[in-house]
Amino acid sequence: MKRINVGIIGLGTIGAGVVKVLRERRQFILQRSGVDVHLVLACDVRRAQAKKLKLPASIFTANPLDVLRHEKIDVVVELIGGHHPAKELILGALKNNKHVVTANKALLATDISEILQVARKYHKQLKFEASVCGGIPIIKALREGLVSNRVDSIFGIINGTSNYLLTKMREESLTFSEALARAKKKGYAERNSRLDIEGIDAAHKLVILCYLLFARLIPLEQVFCEGISDISELDVKYADEMGLVIKPLAIAKKIGDDVEARVHPTLLPKNHMLAAVNGVFNAVMFRGDLVGDMLFYGRGAGQLPTASAVVSDLVDLGREVQDDNSCKLVSIPRVKKVRRMQDIVSRYYLRFLAIDKPGILAKISGILGKHRIGIAQVGQKERRRAKFVPVVMITHHSREKDLWEALADIDRLAIVKGRTVKIRMEDI
Ligand code: HSE
């Protein structure tokens, strides 16, 4: 039997879940894995959390330094999130000769290289399964199961909250704020839910996945990020009529030496597998050059799915504490630079609000044509207001920059009201 002594810092939703699993399943985990995962000390600055979890005083502290300095602790689990003091605590733990397990995607997205360097220096490991896709063991799959594959693209629904919101708005006609209130109550949303809604949380996770796939830390600000708050029920309805579904997608594609990295609402055909991923579920789809197409599906947020991922890291550590595999994480970079958003090529759904008069469609399509944008489908929707009607189009593959320029021209026309809605569409 191997034993690993654990200290946890942060007893919020996930921390409380980890405590629960470790207390209720210690024997079960030991029987299945041969590793005794022993909770030595749990920490939260809010003493009330200890009461809530009925933690004996002997295994609770309000001072994180007690965890870092505890002689018996082999691994520190950082679950407070954010940059500070999480980073200092992680580095402190490594320097104090402790392995680290974290779910801190925001920190890893910017500082993973630096933290790994410190881990390497002190011959410690950094594990972060819970940072991407909640309960889905995607990190382990990419690092271990698929290690011999070149993976050149990834398409994922990797933010549970935004997928939950779009699903509830579509299926139960909830308003945006009703759906968000539910996601918060269920413990899916970030403390600052803007991170979910604006695609930033997905961008954090995409950067981590790209780091694993391409051995390059993409600067976060180079990930194009568009949230879901501008999606209206009209677009959901029109998309549905055209056999399409809007999904909050994170996309990375290696194209030559470049990588495209983007997060935005994306139209998919209804019969696509990712189109059927609803609620808080996440799914990541990619193609390995040896293994072919793969789809990972599961709960991307929530207390127990995420705790399951944290505990799997602890068991791994218990099995291989002598290993120094944090040093093996990064190999030769497979991409040179992030492709600028203006250079990507996509199909687009466009919704204009145009005056209902002969010749208007010709005018709009003329401008699109002038900018090299072909139209694959067009439809005028019912008259909604006295003067303006929605016109919906799906374009052929076009360059983003051409579209920006065309829309700037179109939106300046007196015959068009407001800003044209555009949603990118993927043929995966
Ligand atoms: N807020 C995140 C999400 C939690 O909704 O996906 C899991 O990372």
User: Beta strands 99-102 and 75-78: pairing type?
Assistant: parallel
159 CA → ligand 1 middle, Å:
5
Tell whether the model's pLDDT for residue 44 goes beyond 80. yes
Question: Among 133, 159, 168, 186, which is best to mutate for testing ligand 1, by the most ligand atoms less than 8 A from CB?
Answer: 159
| Count of positions (residues) in the chain | 428
Once rounded to an integer, what is the mean pLDDT over residues 98-126? 97
Where do the CATH 3.30.70.260 domains begin and end in the chain? 344-425
* Percentage, residues of the chain above pLDDT 70: 97
Ligand 1 binding pocket includes 196 (Cβ within 6 Å): yes
Say which DSSP state 141 is in. Answer: I
Tell which one of 196, 209, 277, 284 to mutate to probe ligand 1, the residue whose CB is within 8 A of the most ligand atoms. Answer: 196
3-state secondary structure of 59: helix
Pairing status of strand 151-157 against strand 281-288: antiparallel
Establish whether residue 128 lines the binding site of ligand 1, counting it when its CB lies within 6 angstroms of any ligand atom: no
The angle subtended at Cα 262 by Cα 418 and Cα 273, nearest 5°, is 95
Atom of ligand 1 lying closest to residue 164 CA: 5
Ligand 1 contact via 134 beta carbon (within 6 Å): yes
Ligand 1 centre to CA of 31 (Å) is 31
Structure tokens at 252: 């990375």
Of the pLDDT bands very low, low, confident and very high (cuts 50, 70, 90), residue 29 is very high
348 lines ligand 1 (CB under 6 A): no
Indicate whether 252 pLDDT > 90: yes
Q: Is residue 369 scored above 70 in pLDDT? A: yes
393-399 mean pLDDT = 97
According to the CATH classification, is domain 2-134+303-320 in 3.40.50.720? yes
At the topology level, CATH places domain 139-299 in Dihydrodipicolinate Reductase; domain 2 (3.30.360)
Name which CATH class applies to 344-425.
Answer: alpha beta
List pLDDT tens digits, range 210-229: 999 999 999 999 999 999 99
- DSSP state letter for 189: S
pLDDT band, very low/low/confident/very high, at 175 (cuts 50, 70, 90): confident
Q: Count of CB atoms within 10 A of residue 229's CB?
A: 15
Q: How far is the CA of 259 from the centre of ligand 1 (A)?
A: 24
Cα distances from 171 to residues 41, 166, 244, in angstroms, run 44, 9, 15
Give span(s): CATH 3.30.360.10, the chain.
139-299
User: What is the predicted pLDDT for the residue at 420?
Assistant: 96
268 CA → ligand 1 middle, Å: 22
Cβ of 156 closer than 6 Å to ligand 1, yes or no, is no
DSSP category for residue 420: P
CA dihedral 188→194→195→196, nearest 10 degrees, is 40
The active-site residue out of 105, 127, 205, 254 is 205
Ligand 1 pocket member 135 (CB < 6 A)? no
Q: Where in the chain is the domain with CATH 3.40.50.720?
A: 2-134+303-320
In DSSP notation, 78-121 reads: E-S-SSTTHHHHHHHHHHTT-EEEE--HHHHHHHHHHHHHHHHH
254 is catalytic: no
201 lines ligand 1 (CB under 6 A): yes
Record the tokens describing residue 276, joined without a space: 């059927």
Res. 340: pLDDT tops 70 = yes
SS3 67: helix
State the closest ligand 1 atom to the C-alpha of 161, by its place in the atom list counted from 1. 5
| Residue 128 CA, ligand 1 centroid: distance in Å | 14
Q: Which atom of ligand 1 is nearest to the CA of 158?
A: 6
Average pLDDT, rounded, for the chain? 94
Task: Give me the pLDDT at residue 233, please.
Answer: 82
For residue 327, what pLDDT is reported?
Answer: 45
Distance 185 CA to ligand 1 centre (A): 13
Q: From 339, 331, 336, select the one nearest 213 (Cα to Cα).
A: 331
Alpha-carbon distance 59 to 39, whole Å? Answer: 8
Please compute the mean of the pLDDT values over residues 80-107 and round it to a whole number.
98
Q: Evaluate: CB of 281 within 6 angstroms of ligand 1.
A: no
Pocket test for ligand 1, best of 190, 193, 284, 310 (most atoms within 8 A of CB): 190
Residue 196 alpha carbon to ligand 1 centre in Å: 7
